[in-house]
Amino acid sequence: MSHGPLKLAFLGSGAGTNFQAVIDAVASGRLSAQIVCAISDNPSSRFLERAREANIPEHFVDPGPDSRKFPEAAQQAVYDLLTASHADVVVLAGFMRLLKDPTLSAFEGRIINIHPSLLPKYPGATAIQDAMAAGETETGATIHQVTAALDAGPIISQQVVPISPDDTLQTLRAKINAVEQEMIVDVLKNWR
């Protein structure tokens, strides 16, 4: 770990709303951190636009043609970028690929993921839809350490989000996202 502000690297594939929450917390002084790197597997993602707007070093890593795989060359590229950034903590914020070695070993215990369910319930990419389809009355958000197993690493923080009878996928996603944004800032504030 470095001295001074926490050095953060982010990986994201989509809108980057949780990433923006951390950018805003750093800019306002609520979080003593420096975002040293933003990596995406999606060259046209809003996530990368947010990095550019905040003058954060941003990188596209080519994921190859298969949306279910993140090939060895991409895994190596992510590792190289993270290592060069000297990140203390790596945050997966809507990153829709599985990380493997060498990154998992090099950053063991220092990679965290933001997931929209109360893990271990509803791992994977369709967690919100799965909770609604199961008729749950509550779901939530989990921040956990990343391991080789999908959404199965040690839980750092969880918060319940009630599901209202009139919730749609969009309204529930928005409620969960608002909770995630507060949670990720708090987890990073208290990082040891």
- C-beta separation of 157 from 186 below 8 A: yes
- C-beta separation of 161 from 179 below 8 A: yes
Q: Identify the burial level of 138 via C-beta atoms within 10 angstroms of its C-beta, where 0-12 means exposed, 13-18 middle and 19 or more buried.
A: exposed
Report CA torsion sign: 136, 137, 143, 145.
negative
Quickly tell me which residue has 């009630």 as its tokens: 162
> Which DSSP string corresponds to 158-187?
EEEEEPPTT--HHHHHHHHHHHHHHHHHHH
Q: What is the CA radius of gyration of the chain?
A: 16
Quickly list H helices, the chain.
Answer: 17-28, 46-53, 72-85, 103-106, 127-133, 169-189
Phi and psi at 129, nearest 5°, equal -60, -40
Q: Which residues are catalytic?
A: 115
